[in-house]
Chains A and B, each alone.
Chain A
Amino acid sequence: MTEVRVIENQRHFGFGLLEVSRRLELLWMLAQRQIASRYRQMLLGVVWAALEPLGQLLMLTLVFGFLLKVDTAGYPYPLFAFAGLTGWWLFSRNLMAVAGSLQDNMSLISKVYFPRLILPLAASVKELFDIAVMVGLLLIVSAIYGYLPDFKVVVLVPLLLSAGLLSLGIGLWLASLMVRFRDIRPMLGLILQAGMYATPILYSPSLVPERFQFAYQLNPMYWVIELSRWALLDKPVVIAAPFYWSLGVSAMILASGLLVFSATEKIAVDVQ
């Protein structure tokens, strides 16, 4: 007796992870496709992946390190900035990719059914792959400056993963909202830029006045970046109450993002 598939208006919604687990092969192939198409069509594929961040790092070092002479408590500026930027790049790129994943793949989702959550997940896998290239670069730069990585660098893995999950959570919210309100997309770049300055990436968090520190540290990305620096440069960091708060907030964003996404992906095709 073969299985009967029933198609009707479903009102229940959940995280949608069980469905995805049945189609892991598709998830992997979609991620692979994105990675392959990025690196294959360009002659210097992997080189570009390294050149772009290095170029940006050079410019930021010139402006903030040499001209403005930002206080980094003695750490060489390029390394200080790079350690912070790695986590932020993952966060911002993944956020953009996840937020746009439904719309960018409209031609696909309007023609064939598969668990829609696979699309943002595939985007995240691709961004994680890109960031792995970046981390390799970071370790080289760090060694050049005499900071030989020790066992602590393994902390980077859970740190980057949590940055990825947080941006996935926010991205899922945005992807859901963008189904109806496309106005969000142009605003996103601006918001991300603001987020970059609200996080201690290009400057040291000690610049922020003491009375704002609690609120400042509620930003989950604060912890990702400060802990990255701890792992790489041995920069001291004090785990305070906001750390636990931000963990809780991140988990809630991710969970609610999954729920909202599973509710709105059902109408995404209808309102394209």
Chain B
Amino acid sequence: MSSNSEFSVRVEGLGKRYLIPHRHKTAGRMGEIAAHLREFFPFMGRDERDFFWALRDLSFEVKPGEILGIIGRNGSGKSTLLKILSGVTQPTTGRARLRGRVGSLLEVGTGFHPDLTGRENVYMSGVLLGLKRQEIAAKFDEIVDFSGIEQFIDVPVKRYSSGMYVRLAYSVASLLRADVLILDEVMAVGDATFREKSQRNIEKLASDGKTILFVSHNERAIRNLCHTGVILQEGESVFQGTADDAVTKYRQLLHQYDISDVKEEATRWDLAEAPRHHASGHRVISWISLHSADGNETNLFRTGEPMMVRIGFKNSKVDKPYFSVIIHNEFAEAVATVNSTHTGKPLTAKTDGVIECLIEDLRLGEGSYYLMVDFGFYGGNRLTTTSYDCIANAATFRVDLNGYVAGNGLDSFEGAVHRSRWAVSPLV
């Protein structure tokens, strides 16, 4: 094989812009109409302000048998990318090449008509996705079997439960003999059993040399299923690598973490100018420091021993405040939430001061952790918390298991540490 034939999907400099003529209101209705006309007649001249780039200069390559996960927040360009690759819409710049037959499932149940029976809809959506009738007939039993709704196959789909509907629709698409399969958020369908079944199916397709492009918000699904990952942010690729790394990086991006600028040795952090997690406008938390039980500053803690967090605050005008310390692991998963409301006693923290939080026994596994600090109002009729100031990645520390539990130990992503007793008794 030549090097050219190795790719299954190759995307080069792909970009897509949309016309949004409503942006500058000054021109009024006539300006809007003129902008519409400019789309048709390029010679009328175009205004760059009328356009919005949903996807910009994206390049990546996928090999046969690879499952690529595409992650990104809402509006990051994921769906636009899949729409371009499935041919629904055209790119403005660049090009994509896909080898072999492309099957896409941008929405479960595309082309299903409620008045037609399950059988008719299987044929309808199969033909819609580009199969021949005989091909569907050959696979029909397998499709029905996979969906598990044999007895209802001749009932109009409008009488199906939503679960049945979705299972049938997914079965059709997943059993397509496509060389490249484009899936958008499909893992969210069906119950756990069905999800597992479809996951196995996807894995089998990949081991048969098919290529799968998979979009999901579900980080777990991406990590379990995909080999590689691409993170999209505001239409641009910000990371490409293994699926595990992509998920971790994505979580860090979500929580504004940047591992590279964490000062490993620091024990006290000035937060007056730190970026805030949300734009409430309040800047109450001014610094944070970490201490061991004896009061000395440190960033190395031992499992089962105390940890003290001191938070400096300024200009607090909240009557009934709360402070909260949320600990994330390296995958940016929250592993512990320690809240001042847990004491059951009201707190007063007016104007300026320092609040001290003593965690009596830190039951975290071995690894590095990131601390998020939250401050706000706690109260009202239903005792809810309203955040005023929140800083993600306010502090960093490491935890050493230090023999708290024996054996193979416990890492930061395995949850809380518990000491346990185990006993075996003979069968009665």
Contacts and interface: CB of A to CB of B under 8 A. Distances in A.
A110 B79 CA distance: 11
Contacts of A112: 86, 88, 104, 106, 110-111, 128-129
B191 interface: no
Given A3-B100, A25-B132, A8 B110 contact: no
A109 to B, nearest CB: 7
Interface centre among A9, A109, A181 (most CB of B within 10 A): A9
A2 B124 contact: no
Nearest to A1: B5
Interface of B (DSSP majority class):
mixed
Contacts of A181: 36
Contacts of B40: 180
A185 B5 CA distance: 49
A23 B133 CA distance: 11
Interface stretch (B91-99, B143-151, B250-258): B91-99
B123 A29 contact: yes
Contacts of B36: 180-181
B91 A114 contact: no
B116 interface: yes
Interface string B7-46: 0000000000011000000000000000010011000000
B116 A7 contact: no
A26 interface: yes
A270 B84 CA distance: 11
Contacts of B179: 2
A1 B5 CA distance: 9
Most buried by A among B85, B99, B111, B113: B111
A270 B21 CA distance: 13
Interface string B231-245: 000000000000000
Contact of A6 (B97, B116, B120, B133): B97
Interface string A254-272: 0000000000001101110
B113 A33 contact: yes
Nearest to A266: B90
Contact of B89 (A25, A107, A269): A269
A208 B133 CA distance: 54
A29 B129 CA distance: 12
Contacts of B90: 7-10, 266-267
B39 A113 contact: no
B94 A271 contact: no
A8 B124 contact: no
A111 B92 contact: no
Given A7-B85, A10-B90, A112-B128, A33 B116 contact: yes
A5 B84 CA distance: 12
A242 B110 CA distance: 47
B113 A37 contact: yes
A73 to B, nearest CB: 46
Interface string B104-129: 10110011010110001001100111
A111 B106 contact: yes
A240 interface: no
Contacts of B92: 9
Contact of A113 (B86, B113, B133): B86
A12 B86 CA distance: 20
A2 B107 CA distance: 27
B215 to A, nearest CB: 14
Contacts of A270: 18-19, 89
B276 interface: no
Interface residues of A, number: 34
Given A33-B116, A180-B36, A4 B110 contact: no
Nearest to B100: A2
B128 A36 contact: no
Contact of B124 (A4, A33, A271): A33
A103 to B, nearest CB: 16
Interface in A93-144: 107-114
B226 interface: no
B39 A26 contact: no
B271 interface: no
A40 interface: yes
Contacts of A33: 113, 116, 124
A257 to B, nearest CB: 16
Contacts of A7: 84-85, 87, 90-91, 95-98
Interface in A146-191: 180-181
B358 to A, nearest CB: 56
A23 B36 CA distance: 32
Contact of B91 (A8, A41, A109): A8
B7 to A, nearest CB: 9
B127 A37 contact: no
Interface string B269-293: 0000000000000000000000000
A194 to B, nearest CB: 25
B102 interface: yes
A271 B21 CA distance: 11
Interface in B66-91: 83-91
Nearest to A271: B19
B107 A40 contact: no
A176 B107 CA distance: 25
B88 A111 contact: yes
Contacts of B83: 110, 269
B415 interface: no
Nearest 3 A/B pairs, CB to CB: A113-B87, A8-B95, A2-B100
20 contacts: A2-B100, A3-B99, A4-B98, A7-B84, A7-B90, A7-B95, A7-B98, A25-B127, A25-B133, A37-B115, A108-B111, A110-B88, A112-B88, A112-B104, A112-B128, A113-B87, A180-B36, A180-B39, A266-B90, A269-B88
Given A8-B91, A9-B92, A36-B115, 20 more contacts: A2-B179, A5-B102, A6-B97, A7-B90, A7-B95, A8-B90, A8-B94, A26-B128, A29-B124, A36-B116, A37-B116, A108-B110, A108-B111, A108-B128, A111-B88, A112-B106, A112-B128, A113-B86, A114-B128, A181-B36
